[in-house]
Structure 1
């Protein structure tokens, strides 16, 4: 049935080509390489970069398109997942129908096209979340989420690959703009984790204020002059997610109490960030679930409004996606995220960042 559906909207030639490209080997890139290569964005370097992407992106995109076709439990047939699959096939076709890149004019045209591809895929995460919701509605409620391991592993691979694709496209596109000092595309060569943690916490607090009318304080400890090369948007996303979870836990625990809500602490040590709260912790039975995509303690924003355009992505609580995706961002450049919780007291999140940038992209 899936094959028939596919061939109705996409030619057999395209499907064969997707299979062929999906079997090719991906090539990983390290943060350090992106940094050194991008620090001199000459026409020649941009040309080399575009030629690399012209060959690399179709391989990565084809792999995801193939996987989207073969998901367990009938997930591939859910309307939201079919929509995502079509985006991937459209992007594959755009890349493959683009002729060889020979000069700067070709390169500039190619850059415009991959910019469009990145925009087309902007809402992949909430759309996939919707697909998983559509699946959960039809599943036996008694099913153990651990049995859905295959889906978790697929989503981990899928989102990790998406982070890589967006990083490669974004990095190439941004190199065309004049770089602010100490920036090479998305990479800040002297990023201060303390500064990023401060802005991310402020952003998280403003969302908490909007939802609850008040928000616990966040204290950031560490040396603001300590810097290393990293992608600030990635760190911002991870800290924002961790702080937001902590604020919500503390707020809900102390909302009706006459005690003053304790502050959330962020400690930035050399290469490690520790976000801790006294929000009552996570029950031990819940800990294995916090990194799965099918679990959230918050009310689900997708149930209330299935129209994704109006779903405010910044609420994010409720997709059950913040933590597992944050951990993928950490792992993308060789770091990790661990959560340690004491039930009845609070939770500690340890975010390890690899500062050398020598680790290769993990290629699912």
Structure 2
């Protein structure tokens, strides 16, 4: 078991070493041809690292199997702080690479400056992310609760749609799973997930509410750690880590902490409020990008 998580860590380290060598070995850029070659190279680096998160998650889960079950996860500050720094650094690197590559797109989407959409509709992104999450729920359970979205679809603000989609997908997926499993054997109709988009002066706030039974108060400190999941882990030593979109309803144990990092990357935050026996409210605070700075780890 110890060998497995060390092997996975070594695999990720090798990816970073290969990318560092590619960058160091690239000759000085002296022409547009050189610049295009550089863009192709960093695009390939981005693809190489697509599976860093699930590979690291598998390594952490293997580490967890070999740990004393009496260890309190939130006391493992060194592991959590390292992973927070590691994943925040990864978000920043991928943002820079993605921005550079997209700025070279000869046919950029309307209102886009690289990765940043200057007129992004949070309602539209929430709708798309909800549809994606419901399709995963249908695939695993054969049905899915409805998702009701409240907010002005014409309201827009500058943000990175890919980041918001990732966060909304994770939050809605968690709520769908909780409601689906709570009402699966019930005669009652599963209540819908409710998404509310609020346009504030400082922040744009999105609330995702469900009636999935909530989280015990004793469990709340664990939900933002990388060693906790309420579901069976879908990753094992036989997983196909070559598939970047290998998505299941739950079990990886990193969705919420990484979603919070994405929110904090642009000065926002993610909070979870639970009513055990009823449901959970997730508050996603998005800072407007006008005065945000990158939170370097």
Range of TM-score over shorter length? over 0.9
TM-score, with normalisation over the residues of structure 1? 0.77
Relative to 1, partners in 2 of residues 1:119 and 1:204: Cα closer, same or farther, differing over 3 Å?
Answer: same
Pairing of 1:160-171 with structure 2 (within 5 A):
160-171=88-99
Deviation at 1:317, TM superposition (A): 1.6
Match of 2:233 among 296, 300, 319: 300
Q: Gaps (5+ residues) in structure 1?
A: 1-73
Q: Which has the higher strand share?
A: 2
Say yes or no: does 1:180 pair with 2:109.
Answer: yes
Relative to 1, partners in 2 of residues 1:223 and 1:196: Cα closer, same or farther, differing over 3 Å?
Answer: same
Q: Deviations over 1:65-116 (max 9, x none)?
A: xxxxxxxxx8997110011011111111111111222221221111111111
Distance 1:311 1:256 in 2: 33
Match of 1:240 among 169, 185, 194: 169
From the CA coordinates, give the structure whose radius of gyration is larger. 1
Match of 1:335 among 254, 268, 281: 268
Say yes or no: does 1:155 pair with 2:155.
Answer: no
Q: Gaps (5+ residues) in structure 2?
A: none
- Residue 16 of structure 1: aligned partner: none
User: Is contact 2:140–2:249 with CA below 8 Å preserved after alignment?
Assistant: no
Pairing of 1:123-142 with structure 2 (within 5 A):
123-142=51-70
Relative to 1, partners in 2 of residues 1:289 and 1:248: Cα closer, same or farther, differing over 3 Å?
Answer: same
Pairing of 1:178-327 with structure 2 (within 5 A):
178-270=107-199, 271-303=204-236, 305-309=238-242, 313-315=246-248, 317-327=250-260
TM-score, with normalisation over the residues of structure 2? 0.94
Pairing of 1:15-30 with structure 2 (within 5 A):
none
- Residue 280 of structure 2: aligned partner: 347
- Residue 50 of structure 2: aligned partner: 122
Say yes or no: does 1:362 pair with 2:295.
Answer: yes
**C-alpha root-mean-square deviation of aligned residues, in Å?**
1.7
User: Is contact 1:159–1:325 with CA below 8 Å preserved after alignment?
Assistant: yes
